Amino acid sequence: MHAIHVSGLTKTFGSRRALDDVSLTIAPGEMVALIGASGSGKSTLLRHLSGFVAGDCGEICICGEAVQNGGRIARNVRDLRSHIGFIFQQFNLVGRLTLLTNVLTGQLHRIPTHRSLLRIFTRKERDLGLQALAEVGMERYAFQRASTLSGGQQQRAAIARALVQGAKVVLADEPIASLDPESSRKVMEILARVNREHGCAVLVSLHQVDVALRYCPRVVAMRDGRVVYDGPAAGLSPEFLKDLYCCDPEAASAGAPPAGAPEPVALPLAA
Amino acid sequence: MQTATPAKTVDPSGGFSRSSLGSLLIWGLVLGVLAWSWQGAEIRPMALIGDSANMAEFAAGFFPPNFADWRIHVSEMIVTVQIAIWGTVLAVVCAVPFGLLSSSNIAPAWIYQPVRRLMDAARAINEMVFAMLFIVAVGLGPFAGVLALWVHTTGILAKLFSEAVEAIDPQPVEGIRATGANVLEEIVYGVIPQVMPLWVSYTLYRFESNVRSASVVGMVGAGGIGVTLYDVIRSFDYAQTCAVMLIIIAFVTVIDLISARIRKTLM
Ligand SMILES: Nc1ncnc2c1ncn2[C@@H]1O[C@H](COP(=O)(O)OP(=O)(O)O)[C@@H](O)[C@H]1O
Ligand SMILES: [Mg+2]
């Protein structure tokens, strides 16, 4: 059974084709980078996978169950989403809730509604939340409001929320795009660990190619809504990358692996 | 900035003169409406001046205030506050669902449009009118006042609540949605925490207004200090009227101050 299976997914916004016949299969436990210039359709693809948006045609299955098919979102999409941890560029935590409460929302799908609406969590559920926060190194801030924390700290808590969910698939949409280099490194290491130790399939869209090459053995590249490369990270040529980002001055400098970097295509965490 | 500013002032299409013509038109309209309303409202400033001797005598009747029955007045004022408390609490309980249902980012148009119209109706009719109607239904007394404030305040708070809901940041809600939570959980965890400070602030503000409103709904018989006020005015007992008014002012001021303090700490 595939963790993620997409076939023939197409989406047009007005006259603009944001996804063009995208097909993609990701096995359980894989860590895959999704790269491409801005506007190439990375976010749109990830949002389709979670059933936030309905495509025009094509099918998406997560862990063998259809999220959408032929432009119709599955009825049980909320159940299916509980298997999918979604990490957003802007973290999407609720600023006025504590970090722990934010993390505990990851298990709402398992809690009877009459209890969840009153925000009553059992000791066991709270312990699970604290444990997840400890795993991302944020247990010290459990009772602080999310809005009082830095972006990197919030993003780590967002990953803890996905852990509490018990997600089998983690989708991350530019999770480090608004973070400083040190926070970016921490977040990427945690994502890699989630992949390694929890066996989650991770599909992470990245703007920085060097980061993608460092953490992900497999890379999917998109351009104008199409998948233009799908294979080992090592198979990407500098010419291809330059071409991929040709219309995106913002990322042009990141287009090629940085010269003289200590470990250009090494995978330090793939133990 | 530097390029945008000259582009605006050297507008070749004559935008400046057109806008000044527009403002002239608006001023003309405003003056027209004022003149027209002057007639309808039968404003006669001369009456104030011509009857100034009467007015002075009338005003003198208020002083010194007669606090002989202050115990009764204070206990009626407390009833008034109690009417305001229950009128506001019941209104909040209803305004939360109605407010959410009249928010365009929560409910579909076929729900929020009718709910909004219903709330418009509740808001359009003054609480005095509701009080008179409820007196017919439940008889004279404070309960009619509570019901009147309840209906009118529900209309007001539902609108204010839904405006707060429509201004939320949708991203945290999507974060909750992504975990597989259901719609109610999205609201409880994603929406309510964002709007809570505003909702509490609006509620306190309405409570302040309801204390003032509760002191007038009594004038049609719906309980509280308004009943007393009506009686003393009707019996031309202006010294007592003055005492009652001072008690109302004291209560309203203290409540306003406390509630303003609480609202400030929330924001
Ligand atoms: N909700 C939407 N409405 C209209 N156009 C959209 C919408 N979402 C995305 N698009 C368009 O789809 C294309 C792909 O966008 P996106 O997936 O955000 O790219 P990326 O994440 O790779 O930068 C862009 O041209 C964008 O303008
Ligand atoms: Mg994007």
Residues of B in contact with A165 (CB under 8 A): 179-180
- Asked if A256 contacts A208 with a C-beta cutoff of 8 angstroms, the reply is no
Here the tokens at position B214 are 């509760």
The rounded distance, in Å, linking the Cα atoms of A126 and A118 is 15
**8-state DSSP, A144:** S
From the CA of A222, the nearest ligand is 1
**8-state DSSP, A31:** E
Q: Is residue A260 part of a domain?
A: no
Instruction: Count CB pairs under 8 A between chains A and B.
Output: 84
B52 half-sphere exposure, CB direction, 13 A CA radius: 4
Ligand 1 centroid – CA A153 distance (Å): 27
Mutate to test the interface with A, among B100, B176, B179 (most CBs of A within 10 A): B179
CATH of the domain at A150: 3.40.50.300
- The candidate with the shortest Cα–Cα distance to B147, out of B188, B228, B87, is B87
- Asked if A11 contacts A17 with a C-beta cutoff of 8 angstroms, the reply is yes
The rounded distance, in Å, linking the Cα atoms of B230 and B241 is 9
Q: Is residue A173 part of a domain?
A: yes
Length of chain B: 267
Q: Does A229 touch chain B (CB under 8 A)?
A: no
Percentage of chain B lying above the pLDDT 90 cut:
67
Q: Is residue A172 part of a domain?
A: yes
A170-205 exposure pattern, b = at least 16 Cβ within 10 A, e = fewer: bbbbbbbebbeeebbbbbbebbbebbeebebbbbbb
Most confident stretch, A261-265, B130-134, B162-166:
B162-166
Residues of B in contact with A52 (CB under 8 A): 174, 177-178
- pLDDT in the model for residue B50: 80
Nearest CA to ligand 1 atom 2: A13
**Residue B164 burial (CB count, 10 A):** 19
CATH number among 1.10.3720.10, 3.20.190.10, 3.40.228.10, 3.30.70.2470, domain B70-266: 1.10.3720.10
Residue carrying structure tokens 């007196």: B135
Q: Is residue A53 part of a domain?
A: yes
Tell me: the pLDDT tens digits for B170-224? 999 999 999 999 999 999 999 999 999 999 999 999 999 999 999 888 888 888 8
Residue carrying structure tokens 């959408």: A68
Mutate to test the interface with B, among A46, A79, A92 (most CBs of B within 10 A): A92
Closest by Cβ to A117, choosing from B171, B184, B194? B184
pTM of whole model > 0.90?
no
Pocket test for ligand 1, best of A15, A44, A171, A203 (most atoms within 8 A of CB): A44
Q: Is residue A36 part of a domain?
A: yes
Q: Is residue A130 part of a domain?
A: yes
Cβ neighbours of residue A265 closer than 8 Å, sequence gap 6 or more: A213, A214, A233, A234, A257
Residue carrying structure tokens 């959980």: B185
Confidence of residue B60 (pLDDT cuts 50, 70, 90): confident
Ligand 1 centroid – CA A102 distance (Å): 28
Print the domain residue range for A186: 4-254
Confidence of residue B265 (pLDDT cuts 50, 70, 90): confident
Cβ neighbours of residue B246 closer than 8 Å, sequence gap 6 or more: B65
- pLDDT in the model for residue A228: 95
A3, A17, A26 from A10: Cα distances, Å: 20, 8, 18
Q: Give A62: exposed, middle or buried? Use CB within 10 Å, 0-12, 13-18, 19+.
A: buried
ipTM of the complex in this document? 0.88
Question: How large is the greatest C-alpha to C-alpha distance in chain B, in angstroms?
Answer: 76
Per DSSP, the residues of A43-81 read HHHHHHHTTSS--SEEEEEETTEEEEETTEE-TTHHHHH
Tell me: the pLDDT tens digits for B91-120? 999 999 999 999 999 999 999 999 999 999
The rounded distance, in Å, linking the Cα atoms of B245 and B76 is 12
Residues of A in contact with B192 (CB under 8 A): none
**CB of A52 closer than 6 A to ligand 1?**
no
Give the nearest ligand 1 atom to A38 CA: 23
Ligand 2 centroid – CA A42 distance (Å): 6
H helix intervals, A167-263: 181-197, 209-215, 238-244, 249-252
Count of domains forming chain A: 1
Q: Does A120 touch chain B (CB under 8 A)?
A: no
Percentage of chain B lying above the pLDDT 70 cut:
93
Give just the sign of the alpha carbon dihedral A254, A260, A262, A265: positive
Closest by Cβ to B182, choosing from A80, A91, A113? A113
- Asked if B188 contacts A117 with a C-beta cutoff of 8 angstroms, the reply is yes
The rounded distance, in Å, linking the Cα atoms of A232 and B111 is 51
Mutate to test the interface with B, among A49, A83, A105 (most CBs of B within 10 A): A105
- Asked if A13 contacts A56 with a C-beta cutoff of 8 angstroms, the reply is no
Confidence of residue B7 (pLDDT cuts 50, 70, 90): very low
Contact B171 A92 (CB under 8 A): yes
pLDDT exceeds cutoff 70 at B3: no
Q: Give the amino acid at A138.
A: M
Residues of A in contact with B188 (CB under 8 A): 116-117, 119
Ligand 2 centroid – CA B260 distance (Å): 44
**CB of A44 closer than 6 A to ligand 1?**
yes
- Asked if A205 contacts A35 with a C-beta cutoff of 8 angstroms, the reply is yes
Give chain A's residues under pLDDT 50: 252-271
Q: Is residue A266 part of a domain?
A: no
Cβ neighbours of residue B122 closer than 8 Å, sequence gap 6 or more: B151, B152, B154, B155, B158
Q: Give B39: exposed, middle or buried? Use CB within 10 Å, 0-12, 13-18, 19+.
A: exposed
Angle, CA B212 vertex, CA B211 and CA B218 arms, to 5°: 90
> Cis peptide before B64, with omega less than 30 degrees from 0?
yes
Instruction: Give me chain B's average pLDDT, please.
Output: 89
Confidence of residue B17 (pLDDT cuts 50, 70, 90): low
Distance from the B215 Cα atom to the nearest Cα atom in chain A, whole angstroms: 36
Per DSSP, the residues of B31-66 read HHHHHHHHHHTT--HHHHHHTHHHHHHHHHTT-S--
